[in-house]
Amino acid sequence: MLDSQMIEQECLSTERDRLKRLKPFLNYQIEDCLTLNIYVPFPDRVNFAYEKKRPVIFFVHGGDSFEYGTGNAYDLSVLASFSGFICVTFNYRLGILGFLALRDGQINGNFGLFDLQAAILWIRTNIDRFGGDPDHISLMGYGHGAALVHLYSLSKLAQGPGGKGIKRLILLNGSGLAPWATSGLEQEIMQQLAKKLNIDELKPSEKNTEELSLNGTDQLPAGTVSEHRAPLKYLELYTTANPGTYTVNFNKTANKTTPTSRPTIAQQIAQQLRTLSLDKLLELQRNLSNHHCGTSLGPVFSRHLFPRFLINKELSSSLGHVGSPYSYDKPLPITATLFAKVDLLIGVVANAGIQIYRKSQWYGSSLSKGLPECARHLYTSDGHTVSELLQFFYGKKLDERRPTARASHATDVMDNQIKEIISILTDGFYLAPAFQTLQLHDTLQPLERVREQSARRYMSIFDQPSELREHIDFGSVNKLQEPGAVDDLAYWFGAPLVSPNRLDPFGSNYPQEAISLSRRLLSFLTNFVRNG
């Protein structure tokens, strides 16, 4: 899903280098992509007969998008060798294939989550053949991959066999509570797809019925009866049993059916999508509008998958303060989740917000347009007021100076303002969700569990200056040497330890102090996975 011309012309220099290293792994894309890569450490000759099974680290890629990426790009050989653990990466469905949600009873989204569940069940069944312990699995994710791991641990998929054997969660630079972790744009995506597929818009009278149909399905798999349909018994709904043929009228008799004049918009979209090749589907996805502060195609909250406190807006607003739907100051209606049972390590890069800033440049957005959009994602109740304040203090001034910023004083002012903006984005999109995740993990601990037996939680903040300078061009070259997204992952995976050789997909040149820091992080990670 990466365009070569976009990489050359629009990306920042260090990001361009990273995407160039990633692109060869993305040249071959197929829909049947559920595959795993398993890294097994070379056995110690002295202890060749390893008495105990090795712990397993299962890494979920994600980076900065649910629309492109691959587990093949991440070489875990150094991590496996240093720790002595079995390390696994995998590929799952992304973008329109993995997260399109039409709410029609069949294309309900969250297919990427189901792929994750399938991979975990495979590991549980087969990893012992590679020397791994199926009862000692740590789920590790980065960026959007961390959000996917977190959401999985909160979902009903992780209850029962889907969560058995999982002991630790490692969430690096991402959380399921982040504003970008889920998509609430199903209706907008449907409208865009309908337009691009030349599907006529509904008339007002039909649109009301269409909305009732979408609400009635409640994102359940085909053939599943929803307990939430009961309050809608006086409404006329489309049925998905035979698309485009019948409606069910609950107003008169339960078994009475009448012919309909046309299928729903969701059904028409689904019918057309099934006729398209993979290349056409990916082209269609590329032409959907992008939201650089949010997620267009990503996981969606649904009642049959997630606990009520995550999706009930009324409840979450009563729990949180203004602008934060995930502040847990009051008792929650606690349900059993894997997330509450495992030890948690959550890590954040000190200036992770630079990733959001990068996207605004890729898509050619001005700051006066991008900042208000980000504010609306962060502050759901007062988003309009906050966006106006941000636009007044930052957006308009920077946009006016952008073409002519030559003087050193103007450059210094812009550098300071850019740093302030990145700090705001980091706090809202990364740090605050990380603290809320820790708070939720503590809140969900069963009250009857004694403190010594409670699941443990740790947090790390990575503030090592980037080895590569970020070039942000506003008519002059301004250089920031702050750590940014993905900078820390190279250290967690041990890339500096093999320098000047390169560990995919990272760079190859690191100073001596980077080697020392990487060793400390690997030791910390190893101890956490082994002991919690």
In 3D, which of 297, 291, 284 has the Cα closest to residue 94?
Answer: 297
If you average pLDDT over each of 100-104, 206-210, 471-475, 522-526, which comes out highest? 522-526
Say which residue, 99 or 21, is predicted with more confidence.
99
Whether the CB-CB separation of 287 and 276 falls below 8 Å is answered with no
Go through the chain and tell me how many residues it has. 532
Query: 247: which strand partners?
Result: 238, 258
Taking only the tens place, the pLDDT of each residue in 494-523 is 999 998 888 888 887 888 889 999 999 999
**Residues 89, 360: Cα–Cα separation, whole Å:** 30
Which string of b and e fits 60-71 if b means at least 16 CB within 10 Å?
Answer: bbbbbbbbbbbb
Query: CA-based Rg of the chain, rounded to a whole angstrom?
Result: 24
pLDDT reported for residue 227: 36
DSSP single-letter state for residue 243: T
Q: Of the candidates 193, 229, 194, which has an alpha carbon nearest to the alpha carbon of residue 214?
A: 229
Measured distance CA(80)–CA(86) in Å, rounded: 6
For 342-419, strand residue ranges (E) read 343-349
**Contact assessment for residue 254 and residue 269, using Cβ atoms and an 8 Å cutoff:** no
251: pLDDT confidence band, cut at 50, 70 and 90? Answer: very low
Distance, CA of 532 to CA of 343 (rounded, Å): 6
Of residues 2, 1, 223, 241, the one with CA closest to residue 99: 1
For residue 394, give the 3-state DSSP assignment. Answer: helix
pLDDT tier for residue 46 given thresholds of 50, 70 and 90: very low
At residue 431, what is the residue type?
A: L
Query: d(Cα 7, Cα 2) in Å, to the nearest integer?
Result: 8
The two tokens of residue 495 are 């890339």
Token code pair at residue 245: 């043929």
Distance CA 15, CA 163 (A): 36
Domains along the sequence of the chain with CATH = 19-184+293-531 (3.40.50.1820), 186-286 (no CATH)
User: What are 458-475's pLDDT values in tens digits?
Assistant: 999 998 876 544 434 433
Of the listed ranges 54-68, 236-250, 489-503, the one predicted with least confidence: 236-250
